[in-house]
């Protein structure tokens, strides 16, 4: 598969472009590569789809923010990067009908006329939204989650047709059974004859004469379903993934909506996430900071021992490379950063106090040098 081009490059705009500039750039590209202007030109059709895909992301503030932060990999499949397990969207299955349906109004309502296979009347199921909480361990490795959702599904009695039986239909008198009607519109290319979905039958070419008793002719009913979600490693709080066609079923056999999954992160008792890095605040006993030694610290994978050098100063940061979280796009992993603090006793016994007084009186080791002062406050 060819590497996807940068969306800003596709539309020919800067990364600082305004929403209006992005819209104008897309309109220009869409006119240039419109299939009615380039009949039979597969290359132009691909460029037309590419521009629509770029506009879909950059015209949406939330999608644009995710794209700016994570690139194609951060689009959750909505831009074709492709998370596993059924995630989909524009890149993988973005048809000409999708484009004309979603962006038809950008040219005043006549762009592409009736090319859409469902815009004129065929209903689409609504989207479902769920939240999924993940631990740092699950984010680090990726995880398969099974969730149970309440949703609209195709009627079990009529199979989603909405009719009592297969014979309870009649041919639509408006479109004569074709499901399509012709119309003439004044478009940016002049007068054009376009084909659209029949408004009477919704593109089905037939009308129900006897409705299903169970669903009342709607073709859908309430039910529940267990859905398996494969979440890739490296996702972040607030990221939204989508699974095309896993939302509510549409009335009378239309296209189902999507399942939208919002990622939430569970708070770790010891570790703090900072992008792909993970932070651990380690508070050392004073003797360990002075004399050195080894201490056990938590990581995403479990506990490990690290060496503490003698004379370790508070504020020092130890870096354990590769012990952070993987990048969503698969390019390496972050680090575990250990912030060193030193615990100074708040209360001392008489013996402890006597010991410190003796060290203060007999040794200069506890008096900071000028070099130490400069290094500490830099």
- Where residue 355 falls (left for φ over 0; alpha for ψ -120 to 50; beta otherwise) is alpha
Per residue in 286-299, pLDDT (tens digit) is 999 999 999 999 99
Residue 82 has pLDDT above 90, yes or no: no
pLDDT tens digits along 168-221? 889 998 898 888 888 776 666 566 677 788 888 877 788 888 999 999 888 899
pTM of the model: 0.60
Over residues 338-347, the pLDDT tens digits come to 999 999 998 9
Distance (Å, whole) CA 7 – CA 64: 10
* Residue 235 to residue 83: CA distance in whole angstroms: 11
pLDDT on residue 111: 42
DSSP-assigned beta bridge partners for residue 152: 222
Q: pLDDT category, 356, cuts 50, 70, 90?
A: confident
Task: Answer with the residue of higher pLDDT: 109 or 29.
Answer: 29
Q: Sorting pLDDT into bands at 50, 70 and 90, what band is 143?
A: very high
Q: Which two tokens stand for residue 332?
A: 């390496």
Mean of the per-residue pLDDT values of the chain? 82
pLDDT of residue 122: 56
The DSSP string of 279-315 is EEEEEEEHHHHHH-EEEEEEETTEEEEEEE-TTPPTT
Domains and CATH numbers, the chain: 1-94 (1.10.287.110), 125-159+219-265 (2.60.260.20), 271-376 (2.60.260.20)
Question: What whole-number distance in Å separates Cα of residue 298 and Cα of residue 304?
Answer: 6
- pLDDT of 253-263, one tens digit each? 778 899 999 99
Contacts by 256-259, CB closer than 8 A, 24 or more apart: 256/124, 256/125, 257/124, 257/125, 257/126, 257/127, 257/128, 258/127, 258/128, 259/127, 259/128, 259/130, 259/149, 259/227
- Return the pLDDT at 307: 96
197-206 confidence digits (pLDDT tens):
888 887 778 8
Find residue 308's DSSP bridge partners: 293
Rounded Cα distance, 35 and 115, in Å: 11
74 compared with 10, residue with greater pLDDT: 10
Under 8 Å between Cβ of 152 and 125: yes
Query: What token pair was written down for 91?
Result: 């890149």
Confidence band for 21, pLDDT divided at 50, 70 and 90: very high
């Amino acid at each position: 598969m060819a590497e996807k081009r940068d969306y800003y490059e596709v539309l020919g705009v800067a990364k600082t472009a305004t929403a209006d500039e992005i819209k104008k750039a897309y309109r220009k590209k869409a006119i240039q590569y419109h299939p009615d202007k380039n009949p039979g030109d597969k290359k132009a059709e691909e460029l037309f789809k590419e521009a629509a895909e770029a506009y879909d992301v950059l015209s949406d503030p939330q999608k644009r923010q995710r794209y700016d932060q994570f690139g194609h990999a951060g689009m959750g499949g909505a831009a074709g990067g492709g998370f596993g397990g059924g995630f989909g969207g524009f890149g993988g299955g973005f048809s000409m009908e999708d484009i004309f349906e979603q962006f038809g109004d950008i040219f005043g309502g006549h762009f592409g006329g009736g090319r859409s296979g469902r815009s004129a009347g065929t209903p689409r199921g609504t989207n479902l939204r769920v939240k999924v909480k993940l631990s740092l361990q699950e984010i680090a490795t990726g995880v398969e989650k099974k969730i149970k959702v309440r949703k609209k599904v195709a009627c079990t009695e009529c199979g989603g047709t909405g009719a009592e039986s297969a014979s309870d239909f009649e041919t639509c008198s408006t479109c004569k059974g074709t499901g399509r009607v012709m119309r003439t519109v004044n478009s940016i290319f002049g007068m054009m004859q376009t084909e659209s979905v029949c408004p009477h039958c919704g593109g089905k070419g037939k009308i129900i004469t006897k409705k299903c008793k169970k669903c009342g002719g709607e073709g859908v009913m309430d039910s529940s379903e267990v859905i398996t979600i494969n979440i890739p490693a490296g996702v972040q709080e607030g990221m939204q993934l989508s699974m095309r066609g896993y939302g509510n079923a549409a009335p009378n056999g239309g296209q189902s909506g999507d399942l939208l999954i919002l990622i939430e992160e569970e708070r770790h008792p010891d570790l703090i996430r900072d992008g792909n890095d993970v932070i651990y605040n380690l508070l050392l006993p004073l003797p360990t900071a002075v004399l050195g030694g080894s201490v056990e610290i938590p990581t995403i994978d479990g506990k490990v021992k690290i060496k503490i050098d003698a004379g370790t100063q508070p504020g020092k940061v130890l870096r354990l490379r590769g012990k952070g979280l993987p990048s969503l796009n698969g390019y390496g992993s972050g680090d575990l950063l250990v912030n060193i603090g030193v615990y100074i006793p708040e209360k001392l016994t008489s013996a402890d106090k006597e010991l410190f007084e003796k060290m203060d009186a007999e040794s200069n080791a506890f008096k900071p040098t000028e070099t130490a002062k400069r290094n500490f406050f830099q």
